Amino acid sequence: MYAAVQRELKHERIQGIEPHLRPPSKSASMFSTPPFEQRKAWAGRCMLLPRMGGRAAKLRYYKAACALPHPLQATDVKLPTDLLAAVRFVVGKGERVEAERSRRLAVLARCARTLEPLHRRLVALMPAHVRTISASMNLALVACCIDALPGYPDRYLVHRFVHGFEVCGHIADSGCFRSLEAVDQAPYTPVESVFNTSSNRAWICELEQTMRAQGNRPGQQPTPAAEAAYAASLKECAGPSPTTWGVELPPSEQSSTGRTHRGLTADEVDRHPWITEGKQYPPSACRPRGLWRPMRRFAIWQKGKWRACDHARESKHNECTKPAEALAGQATAELPSQLARSFAEGHGRPVAMEGGTEDWPRAYRKSPVSSPRLNVVCVWNPYAHRPEYFLLSGFNFGLVSAVCGFNRWPHFVMASARAWLGCCSGSYFDDAFTGEPTYARGSGQAALWAWAELTGLPFARDKHVPPHGKPKFVGVVTDYTRVVSDGELLVSVDPGRRASLFELIDGALGAGELSRAQAAKLSGKLRWSLCPCFGRVGLALLQPLHAVRHNTSPLPSDLREALAGLRMLVELMPPRSVQVMASREPPTVIFTDASFEDGAGALGVVVKRPGQPLLWTACDCPEWVLDAFREVDRHKAQYIGQLELLAAVLAYTTFPEELRGRHVIHWVDNESAVYGLVKGYSGSPDSARVVNLYHTCVTQLGVTPWVEYVHTDDNLADLPSRGDFLLLRMLGGSGAFRPAVVPPVRSLTGPLLPLLAVAVLP
């Protein structure tokens, strides 16, 4: 029976599904080309052109650079092979794809019914705590799909849903994610050296003492965080499918307190059958104690509400965990843009697109654990004024093992939905996105929804967002409405995330102080929000936030200026435009250079547009620029790094119209400047100002830059920076020179508001 179903599934698999390839290691992926913007500077290790040197090196290098294609103009789309196969499936079926998916769903449902007897046998093997989660799943169908997928690596996924996932210790390699190299693995403490009865009893005693010391006393009002943590635990105990276990209160107590459950005492946990593994012990002093190890539960304010978290690091759960892989290969905020470009490539023209999202409810809780003894949480009961314990049958939100453990399920759902339904979908943890042409009439998202229900872990109905023209995925809004008319899509920050950033920044500015934890949180949120939308604009403004090492009160001027500038950036920056069809036009080439000798500097820029004469500019560095650097940072004997960055900016302030909307390869002969320009960040305050000015100009002009290192002997811009103009006049003619436009001093010192204004460019 199983073999027959497997043969049918192989027959129904869409064409082009290749064996799964796990994400490459960090070292192997270091030099991979991203889809939309340069992410890393390769400097001297992996250059577009090798060093030439010798006679007429500058001229030979300049000619070779003008013949290069732009690295981001490649026609191949950076998507998983099975997702590309799903795109080809939709393109090939066209408007018939909706009916074809309905037929395929009927086949899958029939296969599930055929395998139902095998699923019941699997349920009989499950421990009691695992059965609360996995009994409703179609694990026999999941197993058959895994066997029918070519080279799918996660052979033990069904085994884990029958017996549970590991919580601590050596975590087995699923083969789905990036393999952890030895250098990337955190120090590991053997489980048996920490999780033993004597150590567990001592930890339980210490945990209860600290919670009593921090909790509210009778007559004291509990904190909102304490109430939220306890309420979240009680909510998971109630309902038809609980994921957390405590003690159900009698009806009379439920009506008087308004609560349906309470937590367990330490003695009740000792006697719980999940802890004793079904063994019955007499209620005496000889009963085993300390077989379990709890984690402290607390609440944090996140996305406008309190969220419960578990401190698995404090209890040493994470210290005693050794994973074999790290999460990689998930969908990113660029997935909607990549799908639009992929469908445009498939059709040979931009096509109208729409996208929608789904969300798995109580995501981590739906992955059962193998040992409930290691999955107990301790919560402060603010009403009874005591610590209480809850048992969880699924992962909690603090375990290192939970990250890859849970994501093995979305990985399978996406792979199988692409293979049998052609769903153009991707997932990021519990969020799933589907983006397809409008002629598919939302059938891809509908098929993904039906497939999730068929496998037994459906999406949340209250978080279903149907397909539309401006979908939001992982906090980023992608506007599809201009794909056909203008050949572009617009990417911007989600208004909700924008509001949360305003709240954090305004709170810090209003209070006049900022703690290290608040600075780290704000920096992380800003980096996550700005990069997908605005490239590297604003990252240099994070430098004062990274410098916060303790509670800062009052706010220093540079930190206050950075916060004000970041707020303005989030509020006023327009959406980022992404071209749907990769440009075929040859790139524009820029060479920039600077010199600094005897306290004086000079700047040089060379620009060559395809089919147009060479342009160049040169100037002595104004003294007020050096004064501005000294005002922002300490006095330095050498400013060559800052001037190399300023020369890069000079290209865009002097030739804005010639560079507007262009793909540019920008050659710089200073490695630190190359890395700063690509990363969009610098640890030096004066360099950070110039780096942010560079990315502001690039974004305003709609330039797609690729910054590349060139040796000084090969750099054509080395000539104008040192006063040698003969070759440039020969190459460009009499009208090639343009007077240099140096950015105004107000963009380098003082408040950062002018730096972010459109008036930076002429």
Distance CA 66, CA 60 (A): 10
How far is residue 601 from each of residues 206, 239, 388, 649, measured CA to CA in Å? Answer: 64, 72, 69, 15
Tell me what the mean pLDDT of segment 744-757 comes to.
52
> Considering only CA atoms, which of 168, 162, 201, 231 is closest in space to residue 380?
231
What's the pLDDT band for 368 if we cut at 50, 70, 90? very high
The residue behind tokens 């692409």 is 418
Percent of the residues in the chain that have a pLDDT greater than 70, as a whole number = 94
Tell me what the mean pLDDT of segment 236-250 comes to.
90
Write down the pLDDT at residue 328: 87
Cα dihedral 164, 168, 172, 173 sign: positive
Instruction: Compute the CA torsion angle 552, 558, 564, 568 (nearest 10 deg).
Output: -140
Which range, 105-109, 238-242, 330-334, 507-511, has the best average confidence (pLDDT)? 105-109
Higher pLDDT, 40 or 441: 441
User: What pLDDT, in 10s, does the model give residues 450-460?
Assistant: 999 999 999 99
Lowest mean pLDDT of 169-183, 407-421, 530-544, 675-689, name the range. 530-544
Distance CA 540, CA 748 (A): 13
How far is residue 441 from each of residues 1, 346, 437, 709, measured CA to CA in Å? Answer: 36, 18, 8, 48
| Residue ranges of domains in the chain | 191-248+259-327+367-402, 494-577, 583-760
SS3 234: helix
Kindly tell me the burial class for residue 616, based on how many C-beta atoms sit within 10 Å of its own C-beta (0-12, 13-18, 19 or more): buried
Write down the pLDDT at residue 143: 97
The residue behind tokens 């979240």 is 232
CB neighbours of 394 closer than 8 A, spacing ≥ 6? Answer: 133, 243, 362, 364, 365, 366, 367, 368, 369
What's the DSSP call for residue 96? G
Tell me what the mean pLDDT of segment 645-672 comes to.
93
What's the pLDDT band for 22 if we cut at 50, 70, 90? confident
Lowest mean pLDDT of 51-55, 56-60, 269-273, 436-440, name the range. 51-55
What's the DSSP call for residue 737? B
Distance CA 369, CA 49 (A): 53
Establish whether the linkage from the previous residue to 554 is cis, with ω within 30° of 0: yes
Instruction: Compute the CA torsion angle 99, 77, 330, 30 (nearest 10 deg).
Output: 170
- In the predicted model, is pLDDT for residue 282 greater than 70? no
Domains 191-248+259-327+367-402 and 583-760 alike in fold: no
SS3 365: helix
The residue behind tokens 């040859």 is 586
Write down the pLDDT at residue 747: 66
Distance CA 414, CA 420 (A): 10
Distance CA 24, CA 31 (A): 11
Write down the pLDDT at residue 534: 66
- In the predicted model, is pLDDT for residue 761 greater than 50? no
Q: Contact 700/760 with Cβ under 8 angstroms?
A: yes
Write down the pLDDT at residue 21: 86
Question: Helices marked H in 599-725 — which ranges?
Answer: 623-632, 640-654, 656-659, 671-679, 685-701, 718-721
> Considering only CA atoms, which of 609, 144, 205 is closest in space to residue 419?
144
Q: Contact 614/606 with Cβ under 8 angstroms?
A: yes
Distance CA 154, CA 369 (A): 17
Distance CA 625, CA 596 (A): 13
- In the predicted model, is pLDDT for residue 299 greater than 60? yes
Q: Contact 409/366 with Cβ under 8 angstroms?
A: yes
DSSP 545-571: HHT--S-B-SPPHHHHHHHHHHHHHHH
Q: Contact 687/645 with Cβ under 8 angstroms?
A: yes
Sheet with 488-493, side-by-side order of all strands: 472-473, 476-479, 488-493, 576-579
What's the pLDDT band for 602 if we cut at 50, 70, 90? very high
Q: Between vectors from CA 704 to CA 703 and to CA 706, what angle results, nearest 5°? A: 125
User: What pLDDT, in 10s, does the model give residues 532-566?
Assistant: 666 777 777 787 888 887 777 788 887 887 888 88
Average pLDDT, the chain: 88
The residue behind tokens 């799918």 is 152
CB neighbours of 534 closer than 8 A, spacing ≥ 6? Answer: 569, 573, 576, 699
Distance CA 161, CA 122 (A): 10
Tell me what the mean pLDDT of segment 142-168 comes to.
96
Higher pLDDT, 34 or 247: 247
Supply 729's token pair.
Answer: 């006049």
Distance CA 460, CA 464 (A): 7
R_g of the chain, CA atoms, integer Å: 30
Q: Contact 677/668 with Cβ under 8 angstroms?
A: yes
Please give the CATH topology (third level) of the domain spanning 583-760. Answer: Nucleotidyltransferase; domain 5 (3.30.420)
Give the distance, in angstroms, between the CA of residue 240 and the centroid of all CA atoms in the same chain. 34
- CATH classification of 191-248+259-327+367-402 is 3.10.110, yes or no? no
How far is residue 85 from each of residues 15, 452, 476, measured CA to CA in Å? Answer: 7, 20, 26
